[in-house]
Amino acid sequence: MKRRDFLKQSTFASGMFFVPQFLKAFENNPMIKPFSHKKVVIIQLKGGNDGLNTVVPFNNDIYYQQRNNIAIKQNNLFKISDEVGLHKSLQPLQKFHDKGFLSIINNVGYPNPNLSHFRSTDIWQTASDSNEYLQNGWVGRYLDYTKGNPYNAIEVDECLSLMMKGKTQNGLAITNPKLFYNSMRSPFFNNVVSNYKDAHLSEHNLGYLYNTMIDAKSSAKYIFEKSSTKSTSDEYPENLFGKQLKTIAQFINSGLETQVYYAGLSGFDTHANQTNTQERLLRIYAESLEVFLDDLQKNNAFDDVLVLTFSEFGRRVKQNDSNGTDHGTANNVFIMGKNLKKQGLYNKLPNLANLDKNGNLKYEVDFREIYATILDKWLEVDDVAILNKSFSKLDFV
DSSP track, 216-259 = HHHHHHHHHHHHTT--------SSHHHHHHHHHHHHHHTT----
Residue 296 has pLDDT above 60, yes or no: yes
| pLDDT band of 13, cuts 50, 70, 90 | very low
pLDDT score recorded for residue 17: 40
pLDDT score recorded for residue 215: 60
pLDDT score recorded for residue 193: 60
Residue 314 has pLDDT above 80, yes or no: yes
Residue 57 has pLDDT above 80, yes or no: yes
- Looking at per-residue pLDDT, the higher value among 247 and 187 belongs to 247
Q: What is the mean pLDDT of the segment spanning 12-32?
A: 38
Residue 104 has pLDDT above 90, yes or no: yes
Residue 180 has pLDDT above 80, yes or no: no
- Rounded Cα gap, residues 85 and 365, in angstroms: 21
Q: Which of 5-14, 42-51, 177-186, 310-319 has the lowest mean pLDDT?
A: 5-14
Residue 28 has pLDDT above 50, yes or no: no
Residue 26 has pLDDT above 70, yes or no: no
For residue 332, give the nearest of 96, 50, 42 by alpha carbon. 50
Q: What is the mean pLDDT of the segment spanning 235-264?
A: 97
Residue 135 has pLDDT above 70, yes or no: yes
Q: Which secondary structure element, helix H or strand E, spans residue 335, and what is its range?
A: strand 331-336
Q: Which of 6-15, 117-126, 228-237 has the lowest mean pLDDT?
A: 6-15
| pLDDT band of 201, cuts 50, 70, 90 | very low
Q: What is the mean pLDDT of the segment spanning 235-248?
A: 97
pLDDT score recorded for residue 228: 87
Q: What is the mean pLDDT of the segment spanning 71-88?
A: 97
Contact criterion met (CB below 8 Å) for 358 and 100? no
Contact criterion met (CB below 8 Å) for 397 and 341? yes
At the fourth CATH level, the homologous superfamily of domain 3-387 is: Alkaline Phosphatase, subunit A (3.40.720.10)
| Amino acid identity at 16 | M
Query: What are the contacts of 279-282 at 24+ separation with CB within 8 A?
Result: 279/87, 279/88, 279/89, 280/89, 281/45, 281/49, 281/89, 282/49, 282/54, 282/87, 282/89, 282/90
Q: What is the mean pLDDT of the segment spanning 144-157?
A: 91
**Cα 77 to chain centroid, rounded:** 26
Residue 82 has pLDDT above 90, yes or no: yes
Residue 5 has pLDDT above 70, yes or no: no
Q: What is the mean pLDDT of the segment spanning 105-120?
A: 98
Q: Give the 3-state secondary structure of residue 370.
A: helix
Collect all residues with Cβ–Cβ distance below 8 Å to 78 and sequence separation of at least 6.
85, 86, 88, 90, 91, 94
Residue 216 has pLDDT above 70, yes or no: no
- Rounded Cα gap, residues 105 and 99, in angstroms: 17
- The DSSP-derived string for 154-197 is EE-SSS--GGGB-SS-B-EE-S-HHHHHHHHTSHHHHHHHHTGG
Average pLDDT in the chain = 88
Q: What is the mean pLDDT of the segment spanning 373-385?
A: 98
Q: Which secondary structure element, helix H or strand E, spans residue 78, and what is its range?
A: strand 77-79
pLDDT score recorded for residue 245: 98
Per DSSP, 26 falls in state G
Residue 16 has pLDDT above 60, yes or no: no
| Amino acid identity at 353 | A
pLDDT score recorded for residue 35: 56
β-pairing, 102-109 with 39-45? unpaired
Contact criterion met (CB below 8 Å) for 263 and 156? yes
Per DSSP, 375 falls in state I
Beta bridge partners of residue 142, listed in sequence order: none
Predicted model pTM: 0.88
Q: Give the 3-state secondary structure of residue 28.
A: coil
- Rounded Cα gap, residues 180 and 252, in angstroms: 18
- Rounded Cα gap, residues 332 and 141, in angstroms: 25
Q: What is the pLDDT of residues 339-366, one digit of tens each?
A: 899 999 999 999 999 999 999 999 999 9
